[in-house]
Amino acid sequence: MVYDQRSGLSSYISDLLSKGRTVFTADEAEKALGVDRGAFLDAAERLQKRKLLQSPRRGFYVAVPPQYAAWGAPPPSWYIDALMRHEGEPYYVALLKAAELHGATHQAVMEFQIIAAKRMPKIRAGRNLIAFYYRKDMNAVENGLERRKTDTGTMQISSPALTALDLLRYPQATAGMDNLATVLADMGRKIDPKQLAALSNKFERPIVQRLGYLLGHLGHGGLTDRMFAALSQRGSLPWAELDRNEVRDPDFMSKPMRRDPKWRVIVRRMPEMDE
């Protein structure tokens, strides 16, 4: 009966939560409850309507503990590792979210930002939004990954060095150059210069040029000596715009610009750090 199916799934979820688990797959629940896929989906749909269950991806479910009922889902940090294992894709928590985890943002990060080896649409789970950014060669940056404990296990995040490089590679995720400068100013003291130099070889030269210039401008120039030496070995540098958006803005195109001879970066407006 429908009532029994729903009651059985509710009990199953309550048992998982009592053991500190918040996620399960459809296959796991069907096997534990002894029901077929149709019966399970019918029960799961009813619990989702009651805001007791979330399904961020097909076949993957997240139980909503009572303390997160108003949010509609627990924080993504509780289940992102399990979700990406379910997807069978390497990933790491990145960009502004990683910077926040390293203590380097002044504003609340509205997206839980992930870099993955697969193009994936954004996921809305309750009030939370998980945004995915694509990187094909995930193995190239594995030395810049760290394991971070969460309330339910662990998740993989980018180191401060990798976070800094990614922020320049994915400017659409940074909320503008001023915010980016603010984050880098805070995070600079946590960046390992040796790791920064090694990882910079895995990024496009203009990205390294922009980051090197910004770190120097923000008072962290000592971090970039090894990075600049590694960059110099990659051949002559083309000129790179600090902010590519300004090239398309007529208000900036008409203004005088500064050319930094070391990093060969064109600066049309100096970034201003947020208060």
Check whether 204 has a pLDDT greater than 70.
yes
> What is the predicted pLDDT for the residue at 249?
62
DSSP assigned state of 224: G
> What is the predicted pLDDT for the residue at 256?
63
* Domains identified in the chain and CATH numbers: 2-72 (1.10.10.10), 78-267 (no CATH)
Nearest to 271 by CA among 159, 133, 171: 171
> What is the predicted pLDDT for the residue at 246?
66
pLDDT tens per residue, range 216-267? 999 999 999 999 999 999 888 999 999 987 666 666 565 668 899 999 999 9
**Rounded Cα–Cα distance for residues 275 and 181 (Å):** 11
> What is the predicted pLDDT for the residue at 245?
77
**Rounded Cα–Cα distance for residues 86 and 84 (Å):** 5
> What is the predicted pLDDT for the residue at 215?
97
> What is the predicted pLDDT for the residue at 3?
39
pTM over 0.85: yes
Pairwise pLDDT comparison (23 vs 269), residue with the higher score: 23
Judge contact between 6 and 33, C-beta under 8 A.
no
**Rounded Cα–Cα distance for residues 18 and 65 (Å):** 10
What mean pLDDT comes out for the span 57-79? 95
160: CB partners within 8 A, 6+ apart: 102, 104, 187, 190, 191, 192
pLDDT tens per residue, range 83-138? 999 999 999 999 999 999 999 876 778 899 999 999 999 999 999 999 999 999 99
Backbone φ and ψ for 212, nearest 5 degrees, come out as -60, -45
**Rounded Cα–Cα distance for residues 167 and 188 (Å):** 13
* Region of 109 on the Ramachandran plot (φ > 0 left; ψ -120 to 50 alpha; else beta): beta
